[in-house]
Amino acid sequence: MKTKNKIRLEWTGCADDVEIKDYAESNEIINEETKELDIEKAERMIGEDSDYWTIQWESFTEYLTELMKGQEYWRSDATNMGWRHLTGYREFKATTGEEFIRAISPNDSDCSYQITPHYKGFKIRIAHHDAPMGEHHLVTPMTAKNYELAS
Average pLDDT rounded to a whole number, residues 119-141: 96
Please answer whether residues 115 and 122 qualify as being in contact, where contact means their C-beta atoms are separated by less than 8 angstroms.
Answer: yes
Average pLDDT rounded to a whole number, residues 5-29: 92
The domain boundary residue, chosen from 43, 64, 85:
64
Tell me which residue range forms the domain holding 136: 70-150
Tens digit of each residue's pLDDT (9 = 90 or more) over 19-49: 999 999 999 999 999 999 999 999 999 999 9
Residues 58 and 76 in one domain: no
Q: List the one residue out of 35, 128, 125, 136 whose CA is nearest residue 80.
A: 136
Do the domain assignments include residue 3? no
**How far, in Å, CA of 114 to CA of 130, rounded?**
17
Residues 54 and 102 in one domain: no
Mean pLDDT taken over the chain:
93
Residues 56 and 20 in one domain: yes
Please answer whether residues 143 and 73 qualify as being in contact, where contact means their C-beta atoms are separated by less than 8 angstroms.
Answer: yes
- The number of folded domains in the chain is 2
